[in-house]
Structure 1
Amino acid sequence: MKKLILIIGLASAALTFNSCERDITSLNEDPKHPTVVPSGVLFASAEHALLDQVLSASVNRNITRFFTQQWAETVYVDESNYNMTARPIPRNHYNRMMASASAVINSPGVLSALRDARKFLEDEGVGAVKKNNNIAMIELVNVYAWANLVDTYGDIPYFGALKATAENPGNAEIPYDDAKTIYLDLIKRIDAAVAMINISEPGYSNDLIYKGDMDKWKKMGNSLKFRLAVTLADVEPALAKTYAEAAFNAGLFTDKSDNFGLQTFPSGLLSNPVYQDVIQSGRNDFLPSDVLVNFMNSKSDPRRDVWFTKVAGLYVGGSYGDENTFSDFSHFTNAISGENAQGFLLDYSEIMFLKTEAAARGFSVGGTATDLYSDAIKASMTEYGINDTTATAYIAANPFDAVNWKKSIGEQAWVAMFNKGFQAWNFTRRLDFPVFTNPAGSLVEGVPVRMFYSDQEYLLNATYVKAAAQKIGGDKVTTKIFWDKF
């Protein structure tokens, strides 16, 4: 563990320097920093930054759990009322993912770390097979991060991003690219990365998630492609079917052990981000919301006992959008906010619900929507240690409705994706269930289906961000991402 902390510390120092100096040859001029940073260290740092940002519960940088109304707040309720300007939340998420020219120096981003890892890899002299495996790993995490940015904002700088050089230093303005065009390019990048993988040799030993196991990375690539394919289903149904079926046939996640993330977070520096924000912070700011808890109560959902504490023998959620007295309501258990709890960015439960949706749309993915719906719920129950008998009884009481399949899948996926903010948000936007009510104190015109562009973009990239905002229909939280057709 000490070695792991040291690796991340070295990566953070190197990336802090790189985020300030866009020309990496200047590393040779600074005696306080290493002349060569191992690409595996940079890759591990990118993984850590991605886990930390996507799983974070910080109101300063990730409020997706409020977009799906699964969490409530106690004293400070700005975020559950969708105030994203009092704290620069869109800016902070963008910078932590991108670390573009506008990024804060001490917060190196996922994509810039991966860019530099790829550069340093060229000079490390590893064998061809391992080098290709490492490149594939870098590419798959790249695709994950880029897709997250598109899903969050819509059109973004992509083809011209992260390419500043000594000849073009500083805050040069970068054009925004069409979100759909980016998505289709990301799928091509997945295919190219998966084709490079050779499971006979491992990838980076520094890999925090799969420890260089290329069979796991291959499944991750196929599963990520499957997610993107199903996401396209309402706007490109034929392409979505082709891509989804190809990914399915190539091999998706088959159980929890394949999940992209950490089965158990270590203690210390790399502890569960939710633990850091909910417990370690020493604050009592968050509760499970009544929107979620009441729904689960109505279904007698057995996951309540795994996720929430009781108040006078009952599960009681805090009023969404309102102030709540912390002691009056259910709290999160260690399964959610424990220091060593799990945390996943893409997982078997999500893939099973995506397979259910794909089958309901007429894709050939190994089963009927009815059967896959049962398997998806069982996957979520199993993820949290609930036995098959209990899961089967729950499914019998809450059967699949083939006529209203979006409602059946949307509501059950929303529950299953609890504490997986971005994953839950994608399901609820695409399937339009559950139907959320904008809280009375909301500062925006509706429940967010996208995030505002970073305010720094209007200072550093004004021409292009303004053009992008106009193209997508306005820089508003109610402007839908291109794939959110209905």
Structure 2
Amino acid sequence: MNTKTIIKSCVVLLVTALTTVSCSDYLDVNDNPNSPASSTPFQTLPVAQRDLTALNAREMTYLGNFISYNWATPSNWSANQDFSRYTINSSFYSNIFETSYATIFKNLTYVQNYTDKTGVVDYSAYKAIASVLKGFQYQYLVDLYGDVPYTEANLRSGNITPKYDDAQTIYKAVIADLTSAAELALDLPDNAESPGKQDIINKGDMTKWAKFANSVKLRMLVRLSNTNQDAYIKAQIALIDANGAGYITADVATQPGYSDNADKQNPFYGYFRKPSTNAEQDRGDYTVATDYVVNYLSGTNDPRLNRLYAGAKTGGAFKGAPQTTTLPGVGFTSNDLAKIGPGLIVPTTGMTAAQTIMSMPEILLLQAEAIARGYIAGGDAAAKTKYEQAITASFTRLGVPTAATAAVTYYSQALPNVAWPTTGNLSAKVQAIITQKWVALNGTSSIELWIEKTRTGFPAGLPQPAEGGGIRPVRLLYPGSENSRNSLNVPKQTAQTAFTSNPFWK
């Protein structure tokens, strides 16, 4: 039996889903004695994929839905007051930064740098996958924090106090890495080892990884639309066209074998429901719809309302609450308000469902905007087609009955930001696209909604929390742990930085 056969025959996924490799970096001063002394990409890749998925499905989606005013808190709970008051400080959602470096980047970098000492196994496919996922997460760190460690990061004990690199420089470096990753995925060495089932996202299908790389890259290029770099954006899209893979044609989703057991449920489902009994977690009880999102969906005759939200336990009404810490006690308790609905927390299969990390509605809306801006050929008719396809895809993935027909009925209404604008005004088209993204990504990749609101100003008229000071935050602050460990390199911030320091692409 040769080395490759031995590696393929190892049944390690369930074991490694509970471990990480013992690779210290600048957030890891000491080795973890509970981690194995060594690992291979075969063992390490699914751990990185699992951790990236959980962070994006839970904390980042929860944060995005509150900052974009989709979710609120009922009067019988005192949770989530930081959202209503916009208390953005060094401890607010600090695990987004910390988890990215301490586990996700640590393991992805290990995969990228790994060399098989026997010379038998070629891990190029693993390396391409790691590059795509690393780019996916670095994009969010730059969007949410600005300058972050990049060139000197993830060096383990080689540098535990890395410098912070310029945000725009990182963006372009990541875009270049995604280009290279797509090319490698499509042209692997003949002896490259296939990850197979150890790739818990695409099961070793490298064409799908090239499509995913192209899709993340398009997201980043559209993000640069306000930076007067149209020539660069078009040149990069030409490179996407050149590799021939195109963009994703189905949701990108993670499936390690989620089950209805403690710590093994689908991460979004498990954030709101308990294993075995499937009773509400406390978070499931204190997370409700805002009055604004319910009124908006009702006012546009949108059948996604009763998929995104569930009618109140008392009376079944679709009622929301404002984001405030001073709600009255009558009529605004968790039993009186609409909670997260069956299109997001699927009652019978949600605990075992694959967890989406990039959806078809998003990539179709990104293409619609890129076409409308002239980055992709096709003109207004092609942009309109992508826009309507995105709405249909949203109806389908949320389980709206007779989704295709219902979607046509919906977007055929002569309503602003529902029907495709007949005017040639670019701003009107972008407003419609981002407003539809605000609906379609509610509960899925919802951090995009906050970031897109910062970039475009849409949806227009989105309320502010009553105690929020009237200014929506535009970024997160570096965590206190980073200020302690890497104080000489962390950029200086004040309490107002989260509200005044716009991303470079704004």
Q: Fold conserved (TM > 0.5)?
A: yes
Q: C-alpha separation between the residues in 2 aligned to 1:313 and 1:439?
A: 26
Q: SS of the counterpart of 1:344?
A: strand
Q: C-alpha separation between the residues in 1 aligned to 2:183 and 2:440?
A: 32
Residue 461 of structure 1 corresponds to: 486
Q: C-alpha separation between the residues in 1 aligned to 2:170 and 2:25?
A: 26
Residue 409 of structure 1 corresponds to: 433
Q: C-alpha separation between the residues in 1 aligned to 2:27 and 2:481?
A: 16
TM-score, scaled to structure 2: 0.81
Percent identity over the alignment is 23
Q: C-alpha separation between the residues in 2 aligned to 1:388 and 1:140?
A: 32
Q: SS of the counterpart of 2:497?
A: coil
Residue 333 of structure 2 corresponds to: 325
- RMSD of Structure 2 on Structure 1 (CA): 3.0
1:282 matches 2:281: yes
Give the drift of 1:264: 8.7
Query: 1:175–1:228: structure 2 CA closer, same or farther, 3 Å change rule?
Result: same
Query: 1:51–1:234: structure 2 CA closer, same or farther, 3 Å change rule?
Result: same
Aligned pairs for 1:359-370 (under 5 A) are 359-366=371-378, 368-370=382-384
Q: C-alpha separation between the residues in 2 aligned to 1:147 and 1:39?
A: 23
1:6 matches 2:11: no
Residue 219 of structure 1 corresponds to: 211
What one-letter code is carried by the residue in structure 1 that aligns with 2:398?
A: Y
State the Cα deviation string for residues 100-136 of structure 1 (Å, max 9, x = none): xxxxxxxxx20011122334444364544xx211110
Residue 437 of structure 1 corresponds to: 463
Q: 2:194 pairs with 203, 206, 223, which one?
A: 203
Q: Which runs of 5+ in 1 are unaligned?
A: 100-108
Query: 1:192–1:315: structure 2 CA closer, same or farther, 3 Å change rule?
Result: same
Query: 1:428–1:408: structure 2 CA closer, same or farther, 3 Å change rule?
Result: same
Q: 1:273 pairs with 243, 257, 267, which one?
A: 267
Residue 8 of structure 2 corresponds to: none
Q: C-alpha separation between the residues in 2 aligned to 1:222 and 1:262?
A: 21
Query: 1:126–1:434: structure 2 CA closer, same or farther, 3 Å change rule?
Result: farther
1:339 matches 2:340: no
Give the drift of 1:243: 1.9
Give the drift of 1:381: 1.5
Structure with bigger helix share is: 1
Give the drift of 1:267: 3.2
Query: 1:458–1:157: structure 2 CA closer, same or farther, 3 Å change rule?
Result: same
Aligned pairs for 1:410-425 (under 5 A) are 410-419=434-443, 420-425=445-450
Aligned pairs for 1:365-380 (under 5 A) are 365-366=377-378, 368-380=382-394
What one-letter code is carried by the residue in structure 2 that aligns with 1:376?
A: A
Residue 244 of structure 1 corresponds to: 237
Q: C-alpha separation between the residues in 2 aligned to 1:162 and 1:93?
A: 16
Residue 55 of structure 2 corresponds to: 53
Residue 98 of structure 2 corresponds to: 95
What one-letter code is carried by the residue in structure 1 that aligns with 2:281?
A: G
Residue 180 of structure 1 corresponds to: 168
Q: 1:356 pairs with 364, 368, 375, which one?
A: 368
Cα pair 2:25 2:154 within 8 Å, conserved: no
What one-letter code is carried by the residue in structure 2 that aligns with 1:399?
A: A
Query: 1:164–1:423: structure 2 CA closer, same or farther, 3 Å change rule?
Result: same
Query: 1:86–1:462: structure 2 CA closer, same or farther, 3 Å change rule?
Result: closer
Q: C-alpha separation between the residues in 2 aligned to 1:7 and 1:361?
A: 45
Q: Which runs of 5+ in 2 are unaligned?
A: 1-10, 275-279
Q: C-alpha separation between the residues in 1 aligned to 2:316 and 2:199?
A: 43
Q: SS of the counterpart of 1:456?
A: helix
Query: 1:4–1:163: structure 2 CA closer, same or farther, 3 Å change rule?
Result: closer
Q: SS of the counterpart of 2:489?
A: helix
Aligned pairs for 1:121-270 (under 5 A) are 121-123=115-117, 125-128=119-122, 131-165=123-157, 172-197=160-185, 198=187, 203-205=194-196, 206-235=198-227, 236-248=229-241, 250-256=244-250, 258-262=251-255, 265-268=258-261, 269-270=263-264
